[in-house]
Amino acid sequence: MNLRARIRTSSALWASPLVIALTLFYAVHVFGIDYPASRSALPYAPEVVSFALEPFYGLTYAIVSALSAWEAGRLMQDGVWRLASVRSRLSIAAGALWPVLALGWLMLALAAGLALAQEGVAPTPGSLQLPAMAAVLTLGHCVIGFTVGRLAPRLLAAPLLAVGVFYLVAFAGAGQFSDSGANWSRHLSGSYSVFLAFGELATWSSLAAHVLPTTGLAAGLGLLWCGSRSTLTRVVAVVAACLVTAGASTTAYRIASDWEETPPTTRAHLPMACAGKLPRVCVPHQADQILDRTRNTITDVTTTLRTAGVRIDMPRKVTDSLLEGRYRATGTEWHLPLTQAERDGTLRYRVLRAAGTLHCANPHRADASALHLWQAHQVGEDERYLKGLRGDVIDPGNDTDLARIQRAEDARVAHVKARVNAVLKRSDTQQRSWYRTMLARVCPARGGTP
């Protein structure tokens, strides 16, 4: 059968308008609404692709499974398997399945490609990890669907597979099939539902955990219907199929059995730009235009606090947390969201929070708040600190308990503000003395050292 005839007779052709329309709706409309609230401060192709593909895993697998079952039923109805064909079973199945597989791969390519185009981000080798994983699993679901279609009527198999595969992947991806407190099923589902942040890449082990169960089952089923008709060969095929399926699933379980809800990720080696020596400030190379301004802000805030009497050393190095993940700032090296803070206009406040950290266990809340507010006033960030201290203001409506809680919070913030306002009326020498006294009360075990 030539190419045109193969496509014209395939169920993938009549399903493609609806499938492509649904893909375009998700890839353009839904992605355009949801992703802007989650994007990192800098464009990152693996992040874009991971977000774009999340709703497509189960949908793609369900569609190709159903269409593959339909194609198998069509071959059964046409009596192809009863004919003494010179072509192998594998060749016949491949000829029927490749249009279905191509449609599934087209869905994945459209989802990832349109998302990258909307964000104006070029694909990178790291951004191909998840599409490649999904492409392999799409092939596996084609084989599984084809096998089911050989065993059950296509009018029954196709809709059941469409619904069953979609919900199986969705429920497994949500961890619904794991034991209490375990998360293994979400890591074996074929749906990589974790949103890769800037600088993150999926590990090969996390990809293998998703791929192995489905491909193992597909390989086992393929052995069953590709073998010859002799009794011995069938027995060997059954044993081999069971071993392959069980081995692949067991291996995947052993890989992911002790993982938390989020699978392990690795950090990409992204180019960085650095400036200065003390502090040495490093940001992603894409944001090198903010280097000088950022370093000046860090130096200014730190110097201002030291002049006011805060015991703090100039940090040795300040690194944008986009580059190195979420590390806690230490006395000599800080990890701050420099790019995002520069964009939001909160850089001085972020530096203040890192510089004014109280490194002691269980500081007294009211006294610590007063210390932080006094520090914030020194660098002109008192209003922002008070807003953060107050938290989100919610209209309590008729909820008397919520109204009571908010009144208590208002009173607490007002008390802290009044204490600090009284201190600010004193001389600089008296303020520094007050700061040292309060610090000793907040961190008594450290002798008043922050």
- The string of DSSP codes covering 192-244 is ------TTEEE-HHHHHHHHHHHHHHHHHHHHHHHS-SSHHHHHHHHHHHHHH
> Model's pTM, two decimal places?
0.76
Closest to 189 (Cα-Cα) out of 206, 205, 168 = 168
Q: What is the pLDDT of residue 448?
A: 47
> Furthest-apart CA pair in the chain: how many Å?
102
Cα-Cα-Cα-Cα dihedral sign, residues 32, 35, 40, 43:
negative
Q: Which residues pair with 320 in a beta bridge?
A: 336
Cα 341 from Cα 384, distance rounded (Å): 13
Q: Whose structure tokens read 């008296």?
A: 430
3-state secondary structure of 448: coil
75, two tokens: 């071959």
- DSSP assignment letter at 280: E
Q: What are phi and psi of 274, to 5 degrees?
A: -130, 155
Amino acid, single-letter form, for residue 30:
V
CA 402 vs CA 269, 273, 389, 392, 409: distances in Å: 47, 48, 17, 12, 11
- Quote the strand ranges of 253-312, DSSP E: 265-267, 272-275, 280-284
Q: Whose structure tokens read 């003390």?
A: 278
CA 312 vs CA 29, 308, 315, 439: distances in Å: 49, 11, 9, 13
3-state secondary structure of 188: coil
Beta carbons within 8 Å of 49's beta carbon, 6+ residues apart: 112, 115, 116, 123, 127, 130, 131
139, two tokens: 């092939």
Q: What are phi and psi of 263, to 5 degrees?
A: -70, 165
398, two tokens: 């008729």
Closest to 52 (Cα-Cα) out of 207, 165, 193 = 193
444, two tokens: 């008594």
Q: What are phi and psi of 296, to 5 degrees?
A: -65, -40
Calculate the CA dihedral of residues 91, 97, 99, 105 and round it to 10 degrees.
-120
Q: Are residues 339 and 43 in contact, defined by beta-carbon separation less than 8 angstroms?
A: no
Compute mean pLDDT per 10 residues along the chain, 450 residues long, and list them: 72 90 88 83 89 92 94 82 68 86 95 92 92 96 92 90 90 64 79 84 92 93 73 80 89 87 80 86 86 89 84 83 63 78 86 74 74 85 82 59 73 84 87 84 58
Residues counted in the chain: 450
User: C-alpha 370: how far from its chain's center?
Assistant: 37
How is the chain split into domains, by residue range?
A: 3-267, 270-357, 359-450
Cα 291 from Cα 293, distance rounded (Å): 6
Q: What is the pLDDT of residue 258?
A: 83
User: C-alpha 242: how far from its chain's center?
Assistant: 34
Q: What is the pLDDT of residue 66?
A: 95
Amino acid, single-letter form, for residue 77:
Q
CB atoms within 10 A of CB 81: 13
User: C-alpha 84: how far from its chain's center?
Assistant: 51
135, two tokens: 């492409």
Closest to 233 (Cα-Cα) out of 89, 338, 343 = 89
Cα 308 from Cα 374, distance rounded (Å): 10
Strand order in the sheet with 280-284: 272-275, 280-284, 317-320, 333-336
